[in-house]
């Protein structure tokens, strides 16, 4: 007993907290890719390099529509290797409320040699959840945590209970979700708990491309939850089907089965990205809660 | 080990023993030898290798070559650890008579793999003790996805088949506890049915393959460069090991050598993967017997490794690092220093965590003699990796089939006979210490030179076996190449598939509340099994 206490005391506090321990995100970390849309002149090499179809294009006549779909992106960085106009950032908070918010589409005029030029339309400005600098600020995580707590308090008037369902993932997302419970991230200090039963849950965190063998179990889990309920799709597979897509054994993205409130891209999303997604989801709950019999 | 005859001598002995019943012998690589024979030789061939050469069946799979050869091929892969070679027996199955005799009665290790072939290729099993469906659940229509005439994107009608019927267990006071597929914790899906009388478990039935994602079929549609990324997604906790085993297979098919620096970086990443998983498991085992403080320390250490992973490879799970012909990212002096620092600082912290667990008598009491897997049973089931080594399995591909840079380091392979949860944890504890030593050895003598070599155009119709000792156990990839740097077949063998049946044995006679800790002590990958 004494040893246990001694080790704990000797270890001290490891939980990220402002201002003692600023969040450390490696400069080498790969987050979402950024395309220099104006200088970009050929969508083909990056499209060929992308293993999940996150970067794609469609040529019709003299027009080319190029797409970057963050829901499919695994942040592998192969596009940046293939094309100097693409660069990997270490920005990991990409969660969005609508699937479309994760897609950027740009129209170009097509040249005869297959390259493209002259931006015909500019990329539509998104209501950005991509706060580029916030993540690098000291104590960011704790600030984020307090924001979550405030939101949870105001919306639910109690703590947020999450039920996690693996609907077919590779267990990569599970590693990071389980990591939220480590003393470093310590989700519970924000009043957020993972619960064992969907009947106790306000939020369903779903990972994986939904497999045919898990589709029914996922529906039943959702049906067992009391309203109001939130569904968060986690990871490239949960958001879009990822590298697995749709095939004889999978039905693809979570939103093919359940209404999804928030998408958290990443492969897997790191704990910050998960926290960010949960915050976005609770923001979503706020207006709905006014009308629902909470 | 030294008095083991050379591979050539063993091949000669096998040829002499079976004479013209062997249709051909091909030495594809020094450690990969193919034998062609008819179906009726399988049982005798297996028995001979098992009895005389201490072989073990490590993989068993089918390949649909009806288009060119009008048959299916079955491949039986045996590891001859002492001789450091794989013998691969290939037998044809006629397309018009799609059935094959089961080996499972003689070699229980073949059980699940044979049933998977039956499901995915539609080859009927003859004489199997339990020929029920496994990979495709009972309600699936009558399809065989790995046949070449089945399209990956086939839209199957809503499932209406029969629900799975578990075996009945009856008796006074016997009742059933169904669990899953959605579990209480943050874990993967699978269904367990416990038959209990009072608290002790009488019988455990498992249903897996809930996360079957058509992965092996998907490999056949992707260029090999994308295949590396798919291999990373087969079991997230073994991302690097799986991707590297895949690369190893392709590199062997292309007859290419990976540069020394890349080989060293591969070994380092494999050890980092081993570290974070072993430490996480040790903590999780402690949690499952209610010693949560230890888990908090373990998670703290695990997080530290994950952050080093991110610093070194850009991803906390080491994703994106593997590539064909080497590795993708080189490390500068600062990054190498980070790794060195981890290797020196983690040791003492880890030791005090272990001490904490060992000094807790209530924890020891729950772990000792719990979930015993007897060495004899483990041998029969072909249990591999950490679970195997706690039950007398004295094998480690890092030592017996040196890959990556494991020929350059000295390390000990911990082997115990007790086979209980305590010793499955002990194997992990020992391996963490060995890993730290391996990292120190490699970092202190990091070779320079190229980081990767171009893979070029793959020869067509080439077959190759790639392997890696992941943290959980041995991972095998077998490939057959197709035109355009694609694959005609990619067989993935995760150690989990081999080890699941052992869990059913280890839990017998234990109380239901001990199931979580017994399960955790194996920590098998559902996704790696189901693919």
Give domain limits for chain A: 134-291
Q: Which residues pair with B191 in a beta bridge?
A: B207
| Residue A292: per-residue pLDDT | 30
Q: Does A221 touch chain B (CB under 8 A)?
A: yes
What are the Cα distances from residue B442, in Å, to A37, A109, B265, B319, B385?
43, 52, 9, 21, 23
Does pLDDT of B369 surpass 70?
A: yes
Q: What is the pLDDT of residues B231-272, one digit of tens each?
A: 999 999 999 999 999 999 999 999 999 999 999 999 999 999
Nearest to B210 among A174, A176, A213 (CB): A213
Tokens describing residue A170: 């590779």
Could you tell me how many CB contacts below 8 A there are between chain A and chain B?
Answer: 195
pLDDT of residue A149: 65
Q: Which pLDDT value is given to residue A95?
A: 87
Integer Cα distance of B154 and B76 in angstroms? 29
Which tokens sit at B260? 């020394």
What does the mean pLDDT of chain B come to? 93
Angle A110-A112-A116 from CA coordinates, rounded to 5°: 30
Q: Which two tokens stand for residue B425?
A: 């944890």
Identify which of B521, B339, B432, B295 has the alpha carbon closest to the alpha carbon of residue A184.
Answer: B295
ipTM above 0.90, yes or no: yes
On whether the CB atoms of residues A266 and A240 are closer than 8 A, the answer is no
Could you give the residue ranges of the DSSP H alpha helices within A100-168? 140-156
Q: Are strands B22-29 and B71-80 parallel, antiparallel or unpaired?
A: unpaired
Burial of B456 (0-12, 13-18, 19+ CB in 10 A): exposed
- pLDDT of res. B162: 78
Q: What is the DSSP string of B376-434?
A: HHHHHHT--HHHHHTTT----HHHHS--TTGGG--------S--SHHHHHHHHHHHHHH
Q: Tell whether B302 lies on the interface with A, counting CB pairs under 8 A.
A: yes
- The answer to whether B189 touches B180, Cβ cutoff 8 Å, is yes
| B293 CA: distance to closest CA in chain A (Å) | 8
- Kindly determine whether residue B300 and residue A249, on different chains, have CB atoms separated by under 8 Å: no
Higher pLDDT, A111 or B366: B366
> What contacts B460, CB < 8 A, 6 or more positions away?
B481, B482, B483
Predicted confidence at residue A128, as pLDDT, reads: 43
Give the side-chain half-sphere CA count within 13 A for B412: 12
Q: What would the two tokens of residue A2 be?
A: 């004494």
- How do beta strands B85-94 and B486-493 pair? unpaired
Task: Print burial letters for B239-268: b (CB count within 10 Å at least 16), e (below 16).
Answer: bbbbbbbbbbbbbbbbebebbebbbbbbbb
Q: For B427-457, how does the pLDDT look when each residue is reduced to its tens digit (9 = 90+)?
A: 999 999 999 999 999 999 999 999 999 988 9
- Rounded to an integer, what distance in angstroms lies between the CA atom of residue A73 and that of residue A89? 13
> Residue holding tokens 């070779």?
B447
Average pLDDT over residues B345-363: 93
B237 touches chain A (CB under 8 A): yes
Taking CA atoms, what residue in A is nearest to B319?
A76
Minimum distance, in Å, between the CA of residue A83 and any CA atom of chain B = 16
What average pLDDT does the segment B456-465 reach? Answer: 93
Residue B19 token pair: 């004479």
Whole-number pLDDT of residue B463: 95
**Of B218, B297, B300, which has the smallest distance from its Cβ to A247's Cβ?**
B218
Pairing assessment for the beta strands B85-94 and B71-80 based on DSSP bridges: antiparallel
Q: Which residue has the tokens 């986690």?
A: A234
Mean pLDDT of B25-51: 93
* Contact yes or no for B184 and A165 at CB 8 A: no
Assigned architecture for domain B7-126: 2-Layer Sandwich (3.30)
Domain locations in chain B? 7-126, 215-530
Confidence of residue B381 (pLDDT cuts 50, 70, 90): very high
Asked if the C-beta of B336 comes within 8 angstroms of chain A's C-beta atoms, the answer is: no
If you write DSSP's letter for every residue of B52-79 in order, what string do you get?
HH--EEEEEEEEEEHHHHSEEEEEEEEE
- Sign (positive or negative) of CA dihedral B436, B441, B445, B450: negative
The shortest CB-CB distance from A11 to any of B297, B359, B526 is to B297
Whether residue B319 and residue A8 make contact (CB cut-off 8 A), yes or no, is: no
Per-residue confidence of chain A (294 residues) as pLDDT tens digits? 788 888 888 888 887 752 234 456 788 999 999 998 888 889 999 999 999 999 999 988 888 889 999 999 999 999 999 999 999 998 888 888 889 889 988 888 888 888 888 777 665 544 444 444 444 455 666 677 777 666 666 666 567 899 999 999 999 999 999 999 999 888 887 788 999 999 999 999 999 999 999 999 999 999 999 888 899 999 999 999 999 999 999 999 999 999 999 999 999 999 888 888 887 787 743 322 233 322
Angle between helices A140-156 and A271-291 (to 10 degrees): 20
pLDDT digits (tens, 9 = 90+) for B412-433: 999 999 999 999 999 999 999 9
- The pLDDT value recorded for residue B98 is 94
Among the ranges given (A290-294, B55-59, B220-224), the one the predictor scored with the smallest mean pLDDT? A290-294
According to the model, what pLDDT value does residue A190 have? Answer: 79
**B236:A268 CB<8 A:** yes
Give pLDDT tens digits for B81-105.
Answer: 989 999 999 999 999 999 999 999 9
Q: Which two tokens stand for residue A145?
A: 């945590």
| Contact of B478 with B75, CB cutoff 8 Å | yes
**What is the rounded CA–CA span in Å between residue B128 and residue B414?**
35
What is the domain class of B215-530 according to CATH? mainly alpha
Judged by a CB distance cut-off of 8 A, whether residue B165 touches chain A is no
The predicted pLDDT at position B121 comes to 95
Query: Does A1 touch chain B if contact means CB atoms closer than 8 Å?
Result: no
Task: Please name the fold of domain A134-291.
Answer: Rossmann fold (3.40.50)
């Amino acid at each position: 007993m004494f040893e246990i206490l001694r080790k704990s005391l000797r270890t001290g506090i490891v939980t990220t907290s402002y201002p003692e321990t600023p969040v450390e995100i490696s400069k080498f970390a790969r987050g979402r890719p950024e395309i220099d849309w104006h200088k970009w002149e050929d969508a083909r090499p990056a499209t060929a390099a992308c293993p999940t179809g996150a970067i794609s294009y469609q040529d019709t006549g003299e027009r080319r529509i190029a797409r970057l779909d963050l829901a499919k992106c695994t942040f592998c960085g192969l596009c940046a290797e293939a094309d100097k106009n693409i660069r990997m950032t270490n920005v990991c908070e990409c969660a969005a409320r609508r699937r479309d918010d994760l897609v950027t589409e740009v129209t170009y005029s097509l040249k005869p040699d297959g390259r493209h030029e002259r931006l015909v339309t500019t990329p539509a400005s998104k209501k950005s959840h991509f706060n580029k600098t916030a993540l690098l600020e000291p104590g960011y995580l704790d600030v984020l945590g307090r924001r979550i707590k405030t939101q949870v308090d105001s919306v639910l008037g109690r703590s947020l209970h999450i039920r996690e369902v693996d609907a077919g993932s590779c267990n990569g997302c599970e590693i990071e979700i389980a990591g939220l419970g480590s003393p470093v991230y310590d989700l519970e200090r924000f009043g957020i708990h993972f619960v064992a039963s969907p009947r106790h849950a306000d939020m369903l965190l779903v990972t994986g491309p939904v497999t045919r063998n898990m589709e029914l179990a996922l529906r039943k889990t959702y049906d067992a939850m009391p309203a109001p309920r939130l569904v968060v799709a986690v990871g490239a597979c949960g958001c879009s089907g990822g590298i697995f897509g749709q095939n004889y054994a999978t039905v693809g993205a979570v939103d093919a089965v359940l209404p999804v409130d928030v998408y958290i891209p990443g492969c897997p999303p790191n704990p910050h990205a998960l926290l960010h997604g949960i915050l976005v989801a609770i923001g979503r709950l706020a207006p709905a809660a006014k009308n629902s019999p909470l | 080990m030294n008095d083991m005859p050379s591979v050539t001598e063993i091949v000669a002995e096998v040829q002499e023993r079976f004479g013209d019943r062997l249709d051909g012998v091909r030495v594809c690589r020094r450690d990969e030898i193919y034998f062609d024979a008819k179906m009726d030789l399988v049982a005798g061939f297996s028995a001979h290798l098992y009895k005389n050469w201490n072989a073990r069946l490590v993989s068993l799979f089918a390949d649909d070559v009806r288009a060119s050869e009008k048959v299916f091929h079955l491949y039986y892969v045996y590891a001859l650890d002492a001789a450091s070679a794989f013998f691969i027996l290939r037998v044809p199955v006629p397309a018009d008579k799609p059935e094959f005799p089961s080996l499972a009665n003689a070699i229980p290790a073949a059980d699940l793999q044979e049933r998977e072939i039956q499901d995915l290729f539609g080859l009927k099993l003859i004489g199997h003790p339990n020929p029920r469906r496994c990979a495709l659940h009972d309600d699936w229509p009558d399809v065989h996805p790995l046949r070449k005439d089945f399209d990956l994107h086939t839209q199957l009608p809503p499932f209406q088949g029969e629900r799975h019927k578990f075996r009945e267990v009856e008796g006074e006071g016997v009742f059933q506890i169904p669990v899953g597929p959605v579990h209480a914790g943050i874990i993967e899906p699978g269904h367990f049915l416990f038959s209990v009388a009072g608290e002790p478990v009488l019988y455990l039935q498992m249903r897996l393959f809930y996360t079957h994602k058509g992965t092996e079929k998907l490999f056949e549609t992707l260029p090999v460069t994308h295949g590396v990324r798919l291999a990373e997604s087969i079991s997230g906790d073994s991302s690097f090991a799986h991707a590297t085993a895949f690369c190893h297979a392709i590199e062997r098919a292309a007859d290419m050598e990976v540069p020394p620096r890349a080989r060293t970086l591969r070994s380092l990443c494999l050890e980092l993967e081993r570290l974070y998983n072993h430490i996480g498991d040790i903590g999780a085992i402690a949690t499952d017997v209610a010693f949560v403080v230890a888990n908090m320390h373990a998670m703290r250490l695990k997080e530290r490794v994950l952050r080093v992973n991110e610093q070194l490879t850009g991803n906390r799970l080491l994703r994106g690092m593997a590539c064909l012909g080497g590795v993708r990212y080189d490390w500068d002096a600062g990054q190498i220093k980070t790794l060195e620092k981890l290797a020196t600082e983690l040791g003492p912290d880890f030791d005090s965590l272990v001490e904490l667990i060992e000094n807790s008598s209530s924890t020891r009491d729950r772990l000792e003699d719990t979930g015993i897997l007897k060495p004899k049973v483990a041998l029969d089931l072909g249990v591999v990796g950490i679970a195997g080594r706690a039950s007398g399995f004295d094998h480690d591909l890092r030592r017996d089939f040196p890959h990556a840079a494991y020929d350059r380091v000295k390390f000990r392979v911990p082997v115990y006979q007790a086979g209980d949860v305590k010793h499955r944890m002990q194997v992990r504890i020992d391996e963490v210490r060995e890993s730290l030593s391996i990292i120190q050895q490699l970092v202190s003598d990091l070779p320079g030179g190229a980081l990767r070599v171009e893979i070029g155009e793959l020869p067509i119709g080439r077959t190759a076996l790639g392997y890696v000792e992941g943290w959980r156990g041995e991972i095998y990839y077998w490939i057959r190449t197709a035109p355009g740097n694609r694959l005609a077949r990619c067989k993935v063998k995760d150690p989990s598939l081999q080890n699941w049946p052992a869990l059913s044995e280890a839990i017998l006679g234990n109380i239901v509340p001990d199931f979580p800790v017994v399960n955790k002590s194996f920590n098998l990958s559902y996704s790696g099994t189901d693919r």
